[in-house]
Amino acid sequence: MGSRAELWIATKKGVFRASGPPGGAGWSLAGPWLAGYEVYHVAPDPDDTSGAVALTNHPVWGQHVFRTSTAGRSWEMAPVPAFPPGSGHRLGTLWHLAAGPGPARRWYLGVDPGALFVADDPGAPWTWVRGLEEHPTRALWRAAKGGLALHSIQIDPTDRDRLYVAVSAGGCYRSDDGGSSWVPINVGIRAAYLPSPDGPAGHNPHALRLHPARPERLYRQDHCGVYRTDDGGDNWVEITAGLPSDFGYVVALDPGDADRAWVIPEESSHMRCVCDGMLRVFETRDAGGTWVPRTEGLPQRNAYVSVLRDGLATNAAGVFLGTSTGQVYSSADGASWARIPGDLPPVLAVAPRSSPTGWT
């Protein structure tokens, strides 16, 4: 890890873009753009080094998809997903956006109420992926505190038809045919809140991440614990031991090492802030066998903050996190941290992209 990076930051009051050396000083900050909108997610466009796509939600103006090809300096509206008449659904929050592998890249967008849409380009109309809607376990889904959110989309970089999604509270699912059919992948997940803890669905995953170099390995942070699978989700092993809590929102992976990951435990479902008022990023280097708190450069007293489900992210340049009180931190090694200057609105998501020269 290391080198200069570009970081897109989605907040409750718009989107920002920062540029600088992970773990170091000299960051520049631009924005806000789309000011006044809650930006739930922002995704760099892998086909345009000056491009990004943002998902916004507003209590008066509703849901929008915006895209930029000018590094954020200007934005244009793009098509918004829509359910067909008679579907029985009303579009809620736009939660998550993911671009599949190229060429012939497909984009996926997850929304409330637990639905997935696909398009060949974020500027093209979206098509509803009906396989999830028609799955027999759909009857077991229930809205969680944030609604019925399809908030994590992971795509196998070696097989564009293999998709994974996480729905709160529905569970995690895998498709091997581009979304036409789905299999629930929740075996081994603790779910004390369910009438039948061994049920196939109804779980409340908070984050799901696939390792790009070893795509059969995924990690997930659930309402009750942290888990790893080595077989594409058919079986999960709990790796919570060694953490101060089994509750949290985030998990992030080292793209160069499938055994290395980071989580940020929180007190509980009732007290949703980091444990003991200390902002600690816990790192594993042995696939969850052991955990070590990485705290250098992070506040260790009276830090009653939360890091939301897309608030921790990695790429080849480093590890990045944004807090519910608007602080953003970067790390080149995943162990020591430096704050990116600025007190921003509450951070909902961070999305890094490596940049050899940075932005101005």
Average pLDDT over residues 72-92: 96
97, 41 Cβ separation under 8 angstroms: yes
Residue whose entry in the numeric block shows the structure tokens 């773990």? 23
Give me the torsion for CA of 190, 351, 213, 103, rounded to 10°: 120
Kindly report the backbone phi and psi dihedral angles of residue 24, in degrees, each rounded to the nearest multiple of 5, phi listed first.
-125, -175
| Distance of alpha carbon 238 from alpha carbon 286, whole angstroms | 13
Kindly state the percentage of the chain with pLDDT values over 70.
Answer: 98
Tell me the pLDDT tens digit for each residue of 28-56: 999 999 999 999 999 999 999 999 999 99
Tell me the pLDDT tens digit for each residue of 248-285: 999 999 999 999 999 999 998 889 999 999 999 999 99
DSSP-assigned letter for residue 73: S
Tell me the pLDDT tens digit for each residue of 293-320: 999 999 999 999 999 999 999 999 999 9
C-alpha of 23 from chain center: 21
Report the candidate in 341, 290, 313, 280 with the shortest Cα–Cα distance to residue 1.
313
Planar angle of CA 347, 350, 355, nearest 5 degrees = 140
| Distance of alpha carbon 12 from alpha carbon 15, whole angstroms | 8
Residue 2 scores a pLDDT above 60: no
150, 93 Cβ separation under 8 angstroms: no
Report the candidate in 139, 141, 117 with the shortest Cα–Cα distance to residue 128.
117
Q: Is the dihedral of CA 75, 79, 80, 81 positive or negative?
A: negative
Report the candidate in 9, 68, 73 with the shortest Cα–Cα distance to residue 41.
9
77, 66 Cβ separation under 8 angstroms: yes
93, 40 Cβ separation under 8 angstroms: yes
Which residues have CB under 8 Å from 254's CB, separation 6+? 1, 260, 261, 314, 334
Give me the torsion for CA of 336, 46, 351, 69, rounded to 10°: 120
Kindly report the backbone phi and psi dihedral angles of residue 190, in degrees, each rounded to the nearest multiple of 5, phi listed first.
-70, 135
Residue whose entry in the numeric block shows the structure tokens 């993911």? 98
Using a 10 angstrom Cβ sphere, with 0-12 exposed, 13-18 middle and 19 or more buried, the burial of residue 86 is exposed
Kindly report the backbone phi and psi dihedral angles of residue 139, in degrees, each rounded to the nearest multiple of 5, phi listed first.
-65, -15
Query: Which neighbouring-strand residues pair with 154?
Result: 164
Per-domain residue ranges for the chain?
Answer: 5-354
Instruction: Read off the amino acid at residue 107.
Output: W
Planar angle of CA 26, 6, 283, nearest 5 degrees = 90
Report the candidate in 101, 173, 93, 122 with the shortest Cα–Cα distance to residue 348.
93
Average pLDDT over residues 156-166: 97
Whole-model pTM: value is: 0.95
Starting at the edge strand found earlier in the chain, the sheet holding 171-175 runs 149-155, 163-168, 171-175, 183-184
- Computed over every residue of the chain, the mean pLDDT equals 94
Kindly state the percentage of the chain with pLDDT values over 90.
Answer: 90
Q: Strands 318-322 and 312-315, how do they pair?
A: antiparallel
Residue 189 scores a pLDDT above 80: yes
Q: Does the domain formed by 5-354 have CATH 3.40.50.720?
A: no
- Looking at residue 193, its pLDDT comes to 86
